[in-house]
Amino acid sequence: MIPYVSLSGQTNDWQSQLSNLITDPKELLAIAEIPTDSREYHAIEQACADFQLRVPRAFADKIEKGNAKDPLLLQVLPSAQELLASPGYSTDPLGEEAANPIPGLIHKYESRVLMTLSGQCAINCRYCFRRHFPYAENRLTRDHLQEITAYVANNTALNEVILSGGDPLSVSNTQIRRFLSELASIQHITRIRFHTRLPVVIPERIDQTLLDTFSNSKQKIIVVVHTNHPNELDERFDRAMAQLTNNRVTLLNQTVLLKNINDNPETLTKLSERLFSAGVMPYYLHLLDKVVGATHFEIPEHDAIGLHRALQTQLPGFLVPKLVREIAGKSSKTWVY
């Protein structure tokens, strides 16, 4: 992978980019050339205190200068709207606390479990449903990993382990190799799925060591990238996806439907076409999970259905993502219609 040099601060490999994130809203606003008054900025700081700002410099470079409504900026810039009361919203909208039998493990569905491999992300998306998740209590220690491995090995109804977080690719290649080796001997686990935003925001994360690890896995590797707008994708992303494809990794995408960001058929159509050109299949189009602080991103269900039907007229069926929502306590994602 060719090293990336950011316009907003020089970096080299993925570790350097990950350790040199924008965490100060003043810096992000300066890079985006967005003025703000002191009252507005005070609210931004308050929102940051609840949920930290984290933005890779390469992502910041893609924000249109001077455009306060840029769809990439709106995903990451803290807002006064996050501080408003939100009836019907909660800190645990998917009921994960009740499905957390071992620290680092979430078991909601019969055939698959999820491991919170890391509490860190390369980018903090303001709509994140785990923005209040107790990561400190779910830190994966060696003892917890052994407990999880035993739990998975003893539950033969399982066939898939999902690695999530945070972002599972924010940990080292050594740690990923260790996790995969722990699971390799469990015969009924046939798939390992990574849900990650890193290949979108820091594509250099897909390095040769990681590719070798995936290529040598006994289980099928699936990478679900999370991207919401075609402006997030560039040639660096394309190279990363090609490398994964060449190492037998299945590539899918998951999008969250977000007000003023991608709530129109033109953007979603362009996103599906752009993903497919990079070898990634559209998978899910999610309605917003009702997490405290994200009310302003919500799209009414009837509007979402209209958007989805418009996509069906503009795209071949295989490029139309399933419109879904997740309901706490349900045994699967729920198709909206």
* Separation CA 292–CA 90 (nearest Å): 5
pLDDT exceeds 70 at position 92? yes
Contact by Cβ (8 Å): 8, 61: yes
pTM for the structure as a whole: 0.94
For residue range 14-24, list pLDDT tens digits in order.
Answer: 999 999 999 99
Report the distance separating Cα 12 and Cα 205, nearest Å.
Answer: 11
Average pLDDT over every residue of 285-310? 97
118: Cα separation from own chain's centroid: 12
The encoded tokens of residue 227 equal 């991207």
Tell me the angle at which helices 265-277 and 301-314 cross, rounded to the nearest 10 degrees. Answer: 50
Report pLDDT for 2.
43
Residue 11 has pLDDT above 80, yes or no: no
HSE-up of 326 (CA within 13 Å, CB side)? Answer: 18
Per residue in 165-215, pLDDT tens? 999 999 999 999 999 999 999 999 999 999 999 999 999 999 999 999 999
Contact by Cβ (8 Å): 163, 115: yes
Calpha distance 274→295 (Å, rounded):
28
